[in-house]
A and B are shown apart, each in its own frame.
Chain A
């Protein structure tokens, strides 16, 4: 009987894991099934560009099952719960899927309901999902002047630099429309600076100042009051707005909470940061945004994790020690407007540093350049044609390169 690998989630992590695994095993030896609740795969890095009219929302969506290699099964249903003891997954449609190896790749949920008063409407928007980004585009088109706040409610969030990119692009967008002198932009964050890591935080903070974006730090949003147009923090501070772009609180999927032992208090799945094996049981693994690993929730991280995860699943099925290790590698282009972008590259141990990537002759790190902007645009093609199918991207490996960086 073939062994069964069940992958929950057909997004970046689930798709690339399924496709990489399929290459290594015969269909007769290992059965691979991907489960997802809907059939649309969204290119999430593209959401940032939607509100500024820089990309069309329709272009970001493709069929989920069609990204899977031949021989990968696809089952469309929401997940009710995982029975870790019995090695089975119970789906909403009543199906019970037994597994030898389970991969949790179901990403995160946006939880605006956890913040008092936070509801999407005329003045309060998000760009963290397709519908929100599309509505925000219309709101921006109508906006003729006033105060825009970009507010991160709490960490962790997907792609923690996207809100900064959003602020940079907002500056560009209103300059482009000739309205910049009528628009105030404020960046309101719970962190003590622009970003989590000191060197990058200073560089990005300077860039906000340069672009005339004011920054409000250590602001823990307790309430979004749309009628009065103000954010109120838990310690009683207020920030007024005419239009708020809010990144709501994130959590793992609800079924994780319904599966005893699988998740933590925020429904993220604790896993070994090196091997990606879940803490709950040796035959459960986790990848991408769904984990509680101390690294960024970002596509690049998921991509690098995928290589390690597939090796370790093969070790596990062969009864060998899990020898592949993930170093926490993340690599992010930061769009800064005016056809320029910065690039940062870091891991668990090394914060983003200046220099070049992946070596001395390469893309400039922590510095605005047109080349990085082109890199960001070209990446969309690589995502669909190289990353998801499970092909290696030349020069970009799982382990973080140190050559080219300087402290």
Chain B
């Protein structure tokens, strides 16, 4: 299992850099992870999405899809793409320190 140094802590990630153990994540790590994804500062709206994504993961065992995010997070799909241009579901999950969303089959 690959690991990654973040904020002086070694965290377990998968091949694509998604957290394997969400309990290792901290809010400060989110700032660092966001920079890696080209997001310089996390706005309050980013945080609304990140907290929502973590809550969804805790309740359902997987992160939400973009469409589910658009319907339930209070942030529209268009805005979600402005916040996370490289793909809201994936990038928000990565920055929020949860495993890659299972998505749909």
Report Cα–Cα, A197/B105, bound state, in Å: 8
Contacts of A264 in B (CB 8 A): 68
Number of interface residues of A (CB under 8 A): 18
| CB pair A154 B105 closer than 8 Å | no
Q: How far is the CB of B105 from chain A (nearest CB, A)?
A: 5
Return the chain A residue nearest B69 by Cβ.
A265
Closest to A195 in B: B105
If A156-B105, A196-B104, A234-B77 touch, whether A249 touches B67 (CB-CB below 8 Å) is yes
A296 CB contacts on chain B under 8 angstroms: 105
The interface residues of chain B lying within 8 Å CB-to-CB of A156 are 104-105
- Residue B30 at the chain A interface, CB threshold 8 Å: no
A369 at the interface (CB under 8 A from B): no
Chain B residues 53 to 68 lying within 8 A of chain A, measured CB to CB, are: 65-68
- The answer on a CB contact under 8 Å between A295 and B67 is no
If A235-B86, A249-B67 touch, does A155 touch B78 (CB 8 Å cutoff)? no
Q: How far is the CB of B56 from chain A (nearest CB, A)?
A: 10
Residue in B72, B78, B87 whose beta carbon sits within 8 Å of that of A218 in the complex: B87
- How many inter-chain residue pairs (CB < 8 Å) link A and B? 43
Tell me the minimal C-beta distance from B40 to chain A in angstroms: 18
A300 CA to B67 CA, complexed, in Å: 26
- CA distance in complex: A222, B72 (Å): 18
Query: Could you tell me the distance between the alpha carbons of A265 and B67 in the complex, rounded to whole angstroms?
Result: 9
The residue on B at minimum CB distance from A328 is B105
C-alpha spacing A264/B64, complex, angstroms: 12
In whole angstroms, what is the CA distance A82 to B68 when docked?
A: 23
A184 CB, min distance to chain B CBs, angstroms:
27
Q: Contacts A197-B105, A218-B87, A296-B105; is A234 near B78 (CB within 8 Å)?
A: yes
- Chain A binding surface, main DSSP class: loop
Q: Say whether A265 contacts B72, CB under 8 Å.
A: yes
- Knowing A218-B87, A266-B67, the reply to whether A294 touches B102 (Cβ < 8 A) is yes
Give the residue name and chain of the A residue nearest to B86 (CB). Answer: A235
Residue A220 interfacial (CB < 8 Å): yes
Looking across the interface, which residue of chain B has its beta carbon closest to that of A220?
Answer: B66
Q: Return the chain B residue nearest A330 by Cβ.
A: B105
Known: A197-B105, A265-B72, A266-B71. A154 touches B85 (CB 8 A): no
**A160 interfacial contact with B, CB 8 Å:** yes
Distance to closest chain B CB from A130 (angstroms): 25
Chain A positions within 8 Å of B86 at CB level: 235
| Contact of B81 with A by CB under 8 A | yes
Across-interface contacts of B77 in A (CB, < 8 A): 222, 234
Q: CB of B74 within 8 A of chain A?
A: no
B-facing residues in A282-337 (Cβ within 8 Å): 294-296
Nearest first, the 4 closest Cβ-Cβ pairs linking A and B are A155-B104, A156-B104, A234-B81, A265-B71
Q: Can you name 23 A-B pairs with beta carbons within 8 Å?
A: A154-B65, A154-B66, A154-B67, A155-B65, A155-B105, A160-B104, A196-B103, A196-B104, A197-B105, A218-B87, A220-B81, A220-B87, A222-B77, A222-B81, A234-B77, A234-B78, A234-B80, A234-B81, A249-B67, A265-B72, A266-B67, A294-B102, A296-B105
Q: Which residues of B contact A (CB under 8 A)?
A: 65-68, 71-72, 77-78, 80-81, 85-87, 102-105
